[in-house]
Amino acid sequence: MSNEEPVATGPLRFALEGHGFRRAVSLLEGESPRLATALRRALPFLARREVPITLGWARALPMSDALRDLSRPFHVAPLTVEPGAAPGALVLDTNALRLLLDGVLGGDGRALPALDAVGLTAPQRALVGRTVEGIARAVGEVLSSRVGVNIALASDRPDPNGSDGTSIVCAFMLGADLGRILLVLPKNALLGPGPTATAALPPPETYNHHVLRALDGVELELVVELARVPTRLDVVLALKVGDTLPLGVPVSDPVSVRIDEKPMFRGRPTTVAGCIAVRIE
């Protein structure tokens, strides 16, 4: 290959495989109300406190990216996902762990336990482990009956990069900002057997370089997502000029830059000449 010949880049690979990721994300988004109900069933103390559980976002990204920005401690429960015996995970962030431990021990949510960033204590791990078993069963019932995917808790910690480097990650929000539970599932297991799930991409050197050059001028729409805020209809109807919509996202948090729902970059909000901008990291 000559130095002038282009190579297959991330956006081109996205164009070739993005349809499968979009299908898998849409599939889980469609089942998110039932998955949220399953989480409420597994965590009954949240219902007593009237804490809503909603889908914050669903994205295709490596598991390592999903874990990278979580404060410590967080809890990762590895899953084996069928079909494909691929790795998945249930992840509880620090706030979800505090809420869970308080609820399991009969607290009222007004004095959540402090957690050591080094990790949970042995009794805390035992309590969390038993609760996660219930979460996995409840979520597994929905996935099995609705999309034909079976999950089971695994003994080995998952490879953060997954079997194909990218998984579908759903972030379920507990209340407005009380914690997050991440459901991580491999794309191929969600799509099942078939050419979309199993077809391998050709190696870069086999791409038609005339096609690559022709694609250089194709315009793509970059979407920078600051936040998705679940809001009741009565709140939306009551909005008026001058109201402020809190996003619940610290300005220092990274944001996702996507092309047609496929995360391509991560960045942090900033300003350029008085306009909101994102610095790619």
Residue 267 structure tokens: 């960045």
In whole angstroms, give the CA distance from residue 82 to residue 131.
22
Q: Can you give the residue ranges of every domain in the chain?
A: 10-198, 221-280
Three-state secondary structure string covering 194-245: CHHHHCCCCCHHHCCHHHHHHHCCCCCCEEEECCCCCCCHHHHHCCCCCCCC
Closest Cα to residue 133, out of 151, 153, 119? 153
In whole angstroms, give the CA distance from residue 116 to residue 125.
12
The fold for domain 10-198 equals Chemotaxis protein chec (3.40.1550)
Listed in sequence order, the residues at least 6 apart from 275 whose beta carbon sits closer than 8 Å to its beta carbon are none
The fold for domain 221-280 equals Surface presentation of antigens (SPOA) (2.30.330)
Nearest 5°: CA angle at 230, between 88 and 235? 170
pLDDT score at 200: 46
Q: Which residues of the chain have pLDDT under 50?
A: 1-9, 160-164, 194-201
> What are 69-89's pLDDT values in tens digits?
888 999 999 999 998 888 999
pLDDT score at 34: 94
